[in-house]
Amino acid sequence: MKYSELNAVLNEQKETLYSFELGTTRELLESLPVTNSHALVISGIRRCGKSVLLHQFIRHEIDEVFYFNFADIRLYEFTSSDFILLDQLVQESAKKILFFDEIQIIKGWELFVRQKLDQSARVIITGSNARMLSVELGTNLTGRHISKELFPFNYQEFCTFHTMPYNKESLLSFLNNGGFPEFLKTNNRELLSFLLEDIIYRDIAIRYAIRDISGLKNLCIYVMSNTAKLVSPSKLTSIIGVKSPSTVLEYLSYFESSYLMNLVSRFSYSVKGQMISEKKIYVVDNGLVNVASISASKDIGRKFENAVYWSIRRKTKNIWYFSDSNSECDFIYKINDDFSAIQVCFEINGDNQAREINGLLAALKFFNLKEGVILTIDQTDLILIDGYKIKVVPAYAFSLD
């Protein structure tokens, strides 16, 4: 590219730097460090608010920021050699903070960032592909970066955005609408449809040179329609029309890398046992479930479980479901070295009470825990059984902290 072309893009993007709406303050903001020795890397699904978060982070230093968004269509021909021209623009600006959006789409970006860190620049990066970021971060930026993940609004942020109290009504609204900020502003479902199309085509199909777009889309629809359900890749080949279970696993890994979903394994002390177990699918936001699923959008119970998963996922990646021959517990998770158990039940009644309690009780016994939680929509209770304490708590009143 030409210096003049990059300079023109830079000057136009500079205007957006000052026009950003700061919006609802994100909870992650408090944990972002100020450092010149490490690159600050914020990753997460497209349109979840990464750029807004970082504008909140640097709002008092805005005049010291060099901002460059690599997702600009005019930078389509930008290659690693063009970092020389970009560096000239950086030096001419004399800015102290370098803010790069979606830099991971440019091959060799980590070498440029490493150079700027060595020159004592303060570097902030956003990216929407976990796989692409992790490969480079694990090589040329080992020990020189601090990574944070951002997700769509959680329940508390949703309530702040809408100025709603924590209660059953606001929780149901959150479960039905999800937490993508732009959608909540406009209530335009097409925004979520376009987002999903972008992820499928731009982030996955084009990036990984996938020709079977139909199979990829079929799998996406299946995932959305089976949120919070057990799936077996080997059984999906005929359902979605792809050639082999390995292809299904490959596509699912692309979905995970794009922050579209997570797969959760059955707990086992054996790594092999976890790998061969059936997986549970959790989609990053119920808003996407609504626009893409065939059936799950109407299942409020599965949306409830999906939302609880992501509230745990914000705290830890160590999450499993527990299952033995007779019972199942929805979530076992570990923060630091401590295990905890949570059962999710929209409403406890005579038909499901024994199943929900027994599943949680089995997990408590297995992990030698004395206390567990059943999260509900609006029920509160306390159950003492065989020396174990089970708290029944409305999800809107529960905190993992």
Q: Do 122 and 177 share a structural domain?
A: no
pLDDT of amino acid 257: 94
* C-alpha span between 243 and 112 (Å, rounded): 40
Residues 177 and 142 in one domain: no
Pairwise CA distance, residues 357 & 374, whole Å: 8
| C-alpha pair distances (Å), 296 with each of 18, 100, 105, 342, 376 | 41, 37, 33, 22, 19
> What pLDDT is recorded for position 298?
65
What does the pLDDT read at residue 272? 84
Range of the domain at 385: 320-397
**Average pLDDT in the chain:** 93
- Report pLDDT digits (tens) over 148-171: 999 999 999 999 999 999 999 999
Same-domain check for residues 308 and 327 = no
Q: Note whether 173 and 276 are same-domain residues.
A: yes
- What's the confidence (pLDDT) of residue 183? 97
Q: Are residues 161 and 43 in the same domain?
A: no
What does the pLDDT average to over 114-139?
A: 88
**Which of 272, 288, 314 marks a domain boundary?**
314
Residues 194, 308, single domain; the answer is yes
What was the pLDDT predicted at 195?
A: 96
Q: CA-to-CA distance for 196 and 202, rounded, in angstroms?
A: 10
> Is residue 319 predicted with pLDDT exceeding 80?
yes
- Looking at 132, 149, 166, the residue that finishes a domain is 149
Asked whether the beta carbons of 122 and 33 are under 8 A apart, the reply is: no
Overall average pLDDT of the 178-188 stretch: 96
Interatomic CA distance for residues 124 and 313, integer angstroms = 23
* 140 lies in the same domain as 180: no
* Pair 137, 259 in one domain: no
| pLDDT tens, residue by residue, 80-90 | 999 999 999 99
Same domain, 227 and 249: yes
- The average pLDDT across 386-393 equals 96
Task: Please write the tens of the pLDDT for every residue from 264-313.
Answer: 999 998 888 888 889 999 999 999 999 987 764 568 999 999 999 999 99
**pLDDT score recorded for residue 13:** 94
> Is pLDDT above 60 for 401?
no
Query: What length is written for the chain?
Result: 401
- Strand-strand pairing, 328-335 and 338-344: antiparallel
Final residue of a domain: which of 282, 298, 314?
314
Using alpha carbons, select from 363, 361, 284 the residue that is nearest to residue 322: 363
Which pLDDT value is given to residue 137? 81
Note whether 178 and 272 are same-domain residues. Answer: yes
- pLDDT value at 138 more than 80: no
Give the pLDDT score at 227. 94
Write the CATH number for 142: 3.40.50.300
Q: What is the pLDDT of residue 151?
A: 97
- Report pLDDT for 245: 86
Judgement on whether residues 229 and 248 belong to the same structural domain of the protein: yes
What is the predicted pLDDT for the residue at 15? Answer: 87
**For residue 295, what pLDDT is reported?**
64
pLDDT of 28-71, one tens digit each?
999 999 999 999 999 999 999 999 999 999 989 999 999 999 99
Say how many domains are in the chain: 3
Q: If 0-12 CB within 10 Å is exposed, 13-18 middle and 19+ buried, where does residue 85 land? A: middle
- pLDDT, greater one: 111 or 137: 111
* CATH number for the domain harbouring residue 186: 1.10.10
pTM: 0.94
- My answer on whether 280 and 229 are in the same domain is yes
Would you state the pLDDT for residue 271?
A: 83
pLDDT band at 134 (very low <50, low <70, confident <90, very high): confident
Cβ atoms 28, 44 nearer than 8 A:
no
pLDDT digits (tens, 9 = 90+) for 219-253: 999 999 999 999 988 888 887 888 788 899 999 99
